[in-house]
Amino acid sequence: MSVAAIKKYEFAPADSVDKFHGAQLLYVGWEDHLMFCAPFAFPLPPNMPFAALLEQVLPPVYGYHPDFARVDWAKAEWFKSGKPWRPDASKSLAENGLRHKDVIRFRTPGLTGIAGSCS
Amino acid sequence: MDMQATKKKLNLKEKYRAMTRDLDWNPSYQKLEDIYPYASYEGVKIHDWEKWEDPFRLTMDAYWKYQAEKERKLYAIIDAYAQNNGHLNVTDARYLNAIKILLTGVTPLEYMAHRGFAHAGRQFPGAGPRVACLMQSLDEIRHAQTQIHSLSNYNKFYNGFHEFTHMFERVWFLSVSRSFFDDAVSAGPFEFIVSIGFSFEYVLTNLLFVPFVSGAAYNGDMGTMTFGFSAQSDEARHMTLGLEAIKFILEQDPANVPIVQRWIDKWTWRGYRVLTLVAMMMDYMLPKRIMSWKEAWEVYFEENGGALFKDLARYGIRPPKWLDQIAQDKDHISHQAWCTFYNYALAANFHTWIPSEEEMDWLARKYPNSFDKYYRPRLEYWREQAAQGNRFYNKTLPMLCQTCQIPMLFTEPGDPTKICYREADYKGEKYHFCSDGCKEIFENEPEKYIQAWLPVHQVYQGNCFPEGTDPTAEGFDPLAAVLRYYHLESGRDNLDFEGSEDQRNFAAWRGQATTNA
């Protein structure tokens, strides 16, 4: 369907990748850890190695949670748009197939938040 | 001798006719479609505008007299409240934070409603609805004014009330209510009247003005209570008019039914999402509780709304979509919203806090299926950390829903441990949603929502810093720049209630008022 309008109704999207100064948006969620109330949005360079996401970007973001120190990235399960997905940490975000506004989630088996409440 | 002509007084019915329908005329040298250019493009067919029945038969002179009387009383009470330092009689200074949300998130909507009804009143070809819209337009600007006047008293003493119009257009969470109304006023006049006159009045303001305003009364806030009750008599009229508008449109042509149904689905969901704020205000921000959000929802939406939709069934209208999800969510949304604001207390114009033990017990009683299992452990952990000087402040910006613009905090229907993710592709771009409702609303009108001013993306595009800011300068602190752009003073307007200037001042002033210290 489309908008009912009195004349041609066409506008550019407000968040196309060209507006982010060379970065692209990546959304990241940590399953079973809702102490972080929502997934995060990050503007990241597409040529950034995936390993840098794990080693540099996420630790200050999730480090407050007592479970985070116990995360074993080798065992983490990843999902892209909800479907199982396997990133290669040595490759860049773009080489891992991540495009502007993609959403990825990780599950850390055995870690289920504060007192097992998924917090 | 001159004969004195007897002046015949019009009876009420004649007067109503003279001051509404008789103000209309048939144009002779302009075409109707040129005078009312927005009357047909939405696809709604009206065959006879004379069939519009105004249930109140209110004329402008009567309106004026009645409202002036109400306002005189209202301002007398507000004056007395201000002169007697009534603000020191509220239960607890935490309460004022709910009122900050009201002023920044709701009052500007009253003003937008004024503009919207003025526009609709200009665009309807029928004199009956034009007059009804005119009066509602006046109601709405009065409500905006009386709210501002009532709440301005708090601005003299407490933080976060200042520059609410500036904040409304900028602060991240206020984009939720702002975009809701922008969606409505940028629609045609028929969708506007269904969205605001019907769905908004029935779904949102009813829950705000009855249970929440009763909460204000319970918490000693005479100012808010007085304008709330003053507005409520108008709100009751708005609800009746909204219903009349729906029935009128439905009776005019069977082809209108699916159009109206889609609007009811859309605007019930949109209104429900905005109400998340009110849910949180009721369950967490009223020190003296009156009823839980869940109870209010059951009475004011499920019971009243249920009866309403039974009434509309004969027109071929079914209850709004996604009610099953809404029914499950009532155990969760207030807690999820409060946790979100606790996360992002750095960037809001009001304070958050961990509820007291007694308040947590109340929440556990009111939410036996959810609070202790999912939310109490989180709050207790935060409390423990705060006691050790490690209060949680989330500094990373969240992913937002493209439609409602709320951070993606809502969980899957049936599983409160999983965030609900939905996405859609449109013209090569990806869009994300918090729910099936928000996704379907987007897919019905993608051209509209791709323009959304999503605060998080706007920050990352560099559009939310004060003019002249250089984000490439060494040591650039983006959060500090965003707060300056919001006109929020860090350490004063934001952060936890515990240790805030509001908390200190209230305690000191109340101490002066009640002790000899």
Confidence label for B212 from pLDDT (cuts 50, 70 and 90): confident
Chain A neighbours among B 27-66 (CB < 8 Å)?
37-38, 41-43
Is residue A89 in a domain?
yes
Provide the shortest C-alpha distance from residue B451 to chain A (in Å). Answer: 5
Cα separation of B354 and A6, whole Å? 50
B153: pLDDT strictly greater than 90: yes
**Share of residues in chain B with pLDDT > 70 (%):** 99
Rounded CA-CA distance B250/B422 in Å is: 33
Nearest to B145 by CA among B275, B137, B90: B137
Instruction: Answer yes or no: is pLDDT of B369 > 80.
Output: yes
Q: Is residue A5 part of a domain?
A: no
Number of Cβ pairs < 8 A linking chain A and chain B: 139
Question: Best-predicted range by mean pLDDT among B3-7, B220-224, B449-453?
Answer: B449-453
Q: Tokens 């301002």 label which residue?
A: B75
Between B12 and B79, the more confident residue is B79
Residue A33, min C-alpha distance to chain B (Å): 8
Helices (H), B124-188: 127-155, 164-168, 174-185
Name the residue facing A40 among B339, B396, B446 (closest C-beta).
B396
Token pair listed for A110: 């055995």
Say what the pLDDT of residue B78 is.
Answer: 93
A16 neighbourhood in chain B, CB within 8 Å: 429
- Beta-sheet pairing, A40-44 with A83-85: unpaired
Q: Which domain holds residue A74?
A: 19-116
Q: Specify if A25 maps to a domain.
A: yes
- Best mutation site among B399, B441, B476 for testing chain A: the one with the most A CBs within 10 Å? B399
Nearest residue on chain A to B44, alpha-carbon basis: A4
State which amino acid sits at residue B197: G
pTM: 0.96
Is residue B310 packed enough to be buried (19+ CB in 10 Å), middle (13-18) or exposed (0-12)? exposed
Q: What angle do CA B58, B59, B62 make, to 5 degrees?
A: 90
Alpha-carbon gap, residue B457 to A100, rounded angstroms: 12
Q: Chain A residues with CB inside 8 Å of B400's CB?
A: 41
What domains does chain B contain, in order, with CATH numbers?
49-468+475-514 (1.10.620.20)
Taking an 8 Å cut-off on Cβ atoms, the answer to whether A25 and B460 are in contact is: yes
Domain count, chain A: 1
pLDDT greater than 80 at residue B413: yes
CATH number at residue A23: 3.10.20.560
Query: Pick from A4, A102, A103: which is nearest to B42 by CB?
Result: A4
**By C-alpha distance, which of B61, B106, B322 is closest to B204?**
B106
CB-CB neighbors (< 8 A) of A7 in chain B: none
Instruction: Write out residues 113-152 of B within 8 Å (CB-CB) of A.
Output: none
H or E stretch including B81?
Answer: helix B60-83
Q: Band of the pLDDT at B463, cuts 50, 70, 90?
A: very high
Is residue A7 assigned to a domain?
no
Provide the pLDDT confidence category of residue B305 given band limits of 50, 70 and 90.
confident
- Please compute the mean of the pLDDT values over residues A13-31 and round it to a whole number: 97
Contact assignment for B419 to A29 by CB distance below 8 Å: yes
How far is the C-alpha of B438 from the C-alpha of B448, rounded, in Å?
Answer: 13
Alpha-carbon span B193 to B246, nearest angstrom: 8
Check CB contact under 8 Å for B374 and A117.
Answer: yes
Q: What is the ipTM of this complex?
A: 0.98
- Answer whether residue B233 shows pLDDT above 90: no
Distance between CA B302 and CA B320 in Å, rounded?
12
Report chain B residues whose CB lies below 8 A from the CB of A119.
Answer: 374-375, 377-378, 381
| Low-confidence winner among B55-69, B110-124, B126-140, B409-423 (lowest mean pLDDT) | B55-69
User: Considering the domain boundaries, does residue A76 fall inside one?
Assistant: yes
Q: Pick from B417, B447, B457: which is nearest to A3 by CB?
A: B447
> Do the domain assignments include residue A111?
yes
pLDDT value at residue B123: 96
In a domain, A10, yes or no: no
Q: Which residues of B touch A101 (CB under 8 A)?
A: 429-432
As a whole-number percent, the residues of chain A with pLDDT over 70 amount to 99
- Residues B377-388 have a mean pLDDT of 98
Q: What is the pLDDT of residue B1?
A: 59
What mean pLDDT comes out for the span B33-55? 93
CA geometry: angle at B337 spanning B218 and B445, to 5°? Answer: 115
Q: In this structure, is residue A13 part of a structural domain?
A: no
Q: Which of residues 332-371 of B touch A (CB under 8 A)?
A: 336, 339-340, 343-344
Determine the Cα–Cα distance for residues B138 and B202; give it in Å rounded to an integer: 19
Interchain contact B430–A (C-beta under 8 A): yes
Chain B positions touching A40 (Cβ under 8 A) are 396-399
Q: Are strands A24-30 and A102-107 parallel, antiparallel or unpaired?
A: parallel
* B59 confidence band (pLDDT: 50, 70, 90): confident
Nearest to A71 by CA among A12, A111, A41: A111
pLDDT reading at B55 higher than 90: no
DSSP letter at B417 equals E
Partner-chain contact A37 B454, CB within 8 Å: no
